[in-house]
Amino acid sequence: MSRPMGDSHKRFLQTLMSNGIISSIQAKALHRHCCETHGAHYSADRLDEFIDVINANLQPMFMYIRKGMSEEDGVQYYALVNTAETDITRMSSDYADNELELFRKTMDLIVDSENGAASSTDVLNCADSLQTKKMKKKETELVLNKFVQDKWLNEKQGVYTLSTRCIIEMEQYMRLIYQDLIKVCHVCHNVAIQSQICENPTCGIQMHLPCVAIYFKGRSDPLCPACNQFWAHEIPEISQSQSGRSQSQSSPAALAPTPSTSSTRRSRRS
């Protein structure tokens, strides 16, 4: 029998659920905040154990809190994964059928691409051919904005990529749907969507940009870690914000508010 969750664990879980995803810096601050609020024993280096207690209690519901890395800057994040869902059904209560179809098509474009990204032009074009219900350009843009706001997609200058939340929560779905198209990073062994690929056709390993940056740091002549041939890509510079020095997001107040545990005792099942 697993250790039951205390109010501190419940608060942590609720805050994570209402935010969708939190960075490891936020998780550390939230851990402290939850323990202090509920008078629970707090030890800064016990976050993993704290999350293990939550995960043991979530297991019968086929859910668990999982850590993953941002493909853009290497920062670690936590999100809640449902292991029973092998479709994007976890989004279905928030989106209409044609919006979900648009999301799937955007994901297809991104996974099929060389660089793990899709231009807004390509996404807008596929909105024309939705089978559920076509979308006009304006409507498509609004829906895409909603995907970004809800942290399913990232957008930079008209280019869409899969968000960290999407990759953490949808990994199982993506492996099922795209199978061999989904590669893992040679360094961290997580799914690699935005990555560099070894140019040697008999090798072709992939590495995340932050993993490339860390792996080749201080090496003047970058060689592929698998085939030893020259790594013919620009080595990205990644800021070391994952070391946890950034203060801007460290306050639990920056997270979406969580109602006090007493008022949310109601069962969420409906």
Residues near Zn ion, by CB under 5 A: 185, 187-188, 198, 200, 203, 208, 211, 224, 226-227
Residue closer to Zn ion, measured from CB, 6 or 210: 210
Which structure tokens are listed for 165?
A: 């939340």
Nearest Cα residue to 197 out of 206, 188, 187: 206
With respect to Zn ion, which residue has the nearer C-beta, 6 or 116?
116
Q: Which amino acid is at 21?
A: I
Task: Name the DSSP letter for residue 121.
Answer: H
Q: Is the dihedral of CA 202, 206, 212, 215 positive or negative?
A: negative
Min dist. Cβ of residue 5 to Zn ion (A): 32
CA nearest to 99, candidates 128, 137, 127, 138: 127
- Please give the Cα distance from 150 to 163 (Å, whole number): 10
Nearer to Zn ion, 27 or 198 (CB): 198
Q: How far is the CB of 198 from Zn ion (least distance, A)?
A: 3
Of the pair 210, 252, the CB lying nearest Zn ion is at 210
Tokens at 265, concatenated: 């005792």
Q: Which residue, chain included where needed, has tokens 């080749």?
A: 216
- Structural tokens at position 85: 């869902």
- Shortest approach of Zn ion to residue 162 CB, angstroms? 14
User: Closest approach of Cβ 208 to Zn ion, in Å?
Assistant: 3
- Please say which residue, 75 or 185, places its beta carbon nearer to Zn ion: 185
Q: How far is the CB of 236 from Zn ion (least distance, A)?
A: 12
